[in-house]
Structure 1
């Protein structure tokens, strides 16, 4: 029988994408292990696990490494199906909301926060995010765009308010779901960094009450672990991912192919390896690292590129 490994989340407290996963631990009452990583590079004990992928968070279970919240959420739902994040009638929509919340909504939120903080943003953070983006992290332009970003935040929050307008407690019915987790991320991010969220939400009473319910979910029970100890777990473990072919893959990819996987928008650092499993929503690649040993790194398909290595 395979060893039971802890569910390890590599994250930092200010990360809005990590907050999504922490809230899922709370909703599903999952005990987890917290590995705190630096908000900026370097991350010398994490890069051997991911092969260079540097977006946050990363989930680790033994020598299986899950990158991007889409992939992490899918694996948590598989392992802990109740209570489900996908209520009847919303399975496709709940997943698809990430393309709204994590891209357009998030980018406007980032611009609003950092434009407002302006000269309080450390120079080393700006330099790190310029490397991540491959473009200028232009605080002056963000500051100039604050009026437009306020408009965008209001427009996005009004969609949440409209969804809650029939007095439902949660966006997709009578239980919190991935729709709520995704939509809440940007509201949480503003709350964590700017003092005037209450004023910004004043015209949205249903959203204000919903935000309080989301805050009350909590993060379940966690224990702390060092980055070095997490790397050691991977080194001593073996990946547990079974081979899985996708006979309908539109490009004819198959287990054994050498590929390079990377995000399609920012943090475009290619991770190379051999395909172990793939589907329309998931690809897992095996790689060998001098420090981590053999690991299988998992990625989503939406928002990611799969290129010949």
Structure 2
């Protein structure tokens, strides 16, 4: 049975924009479930086991967490056009450690420092719970000069790469490196009127931004979170058992583990290993609201501990 691709996201989410662009690049038809920017998300949590970062992709009763894992599954299911048109697949995957961490943190500080008092207190409270630390908008405001300096440095890297290769960062067509880097340009553009000012000295980045926006989001159909929950409950997970014989900690199918992000949103998800590789791990869970699901995570950026 073929299940629709369902993305649980909100329109303002920069990480969700990555996935939406891949839908556009690969011309994928997908179902959109709009979730709130803040907790609670009562019809999503039973599927993820408590994982609360955005986005989450659902295919029947298989639930994919983190953009790394979502992207890897989309590339497996829809290999054409490839996300690695110029080769260099390893660098393409690894680029997320730049774009999603140092570059993104710089971008977040710039955006929220510039927004200042316009940031709702409810959003601040939610992000403090998510990060386990103070979401200090005033400190971000004070740091704007430094954040502009650092944002400019990131832009200069992109400009230099475009000068070397032409229209795209990773070869003859748009690929994962472009999508990863574009997320932060998109986020500033979506929130700040000074986006043009920040890009003024980077003509190649400005032209590249227009090309990225033109990719679009594929074919999008809205469905309700209730419908998505029903799809999971009425499906069976399709993940085959697979152990990693080279797992450095000797983990195997059936082991009970907790999986937790290593940076923020440190909410452990518990389940029994169904499949694992050097890059991925999937665990089986049961929840009364959704029955049996398999939740998929990447290895990089996540901690796996015996439960």
Structure 1-normalised TM-score? 0.99
Match of 1:41?
Answer: 39
In the alignment, the residues of structure 2 paired with residue 166 and residue 203 of structure 1 have an alpha-carbon distance, to the nearest angstrom, of: 17
> What's the CA shift for 1:166?
3.2
> What's the CA shift for 1:288?
0.2
Structure 2 alignment gaps of length 5 or more: none
Match of 1:124?
Answer: 122
Match of 1:174?
Answer: 172
Q: Superposition RMSD on alpha carbons, in Å?
A: 0.7
Match of 1:31?
Answer: 29
In the alignment, the residues of structure 1 paired with residue 204 and residue 67 of structure 2 have an alpha-carbon distance, to the nearest angstrom, of: 27
Question: 3-state SS of the aligned residue for 1:164?
Answer: helix
Match of 1:79?
Answer: 77
Question: 3-state SS of the aligned residue for 1:214?
Answer: helix
Q: Which moved more, 1:200-209 or 1:58-67?
A: 200-209
State the Cα deviation string for residues 271-292 of structure 1 (Å, max 9, x = none). Answer: 0000000011000000000101
Match of 2:110?
Answer: 112
> What's the CA shift for 1:89?
2.9
Question: 3-state SS of the aligned residue for 2:252?
Answer: coil
Task: Give the 3 Å change call, closer, same or farther, for CA 256–45 of structure 1 in structure 2.
Answer: same
In the alignment, the residues of structure 1 paired with residue 164 and residue 72 of structure 2 have an alpha-carbon distance, to the nearest angstrom, of: 29
In the alignment, the residues of structure 2 paired with residue 172 and residue 264 of structure 1 have an alpha-carbon distance, to the nearest angstrom, of: 28
Q: Is the 8 A contact 1:167 1:206 kept in 2?
A: no
Matching residue within 255, 258, 275 for 1:257: 255
Q: Is the 8 A contact 1:115 1:140 kept in 2?
A: yes
Q: Is the 8 A contact 2:259 2:303 kept in 1?
A: yes
Match of 2:131?
Answer: 133
Match of 2:274?
Answer: 276
Structure 2-normalised TM-score? 0.99
Q: Is the 8 A contact 2:260 2:268 kept in 1?
A: yes
Structure 1 alignment gaps of length 5 or more: none
In the alignment, the residues of structure 2 paired with residue 36 and residue 128 of structure 1 have an alpha-carbon distance, to the nearest angstrom, of: 18
State the Cα deviation string for residues 189-240 of structure 1 (Å, max 9, x = none). Answer: 0000001111111111111100000011000111110001100100010000
Match of 1:61?
Answer: 59
Match of 1:144?
Answer: 142
Question: Number of matched residues?
Answer: 307
After superposing on structure 2, the runs of 4+ consecutive aligned residues of structure 1 that deviate more than 6 Å are none
Question: 3-state SS of the aligned residue for 1:83?
Answer: coil
Match of 1:194?
Answer: 192
Question: 3-state SS of the aligned residue for 1:14?
Answer: coil
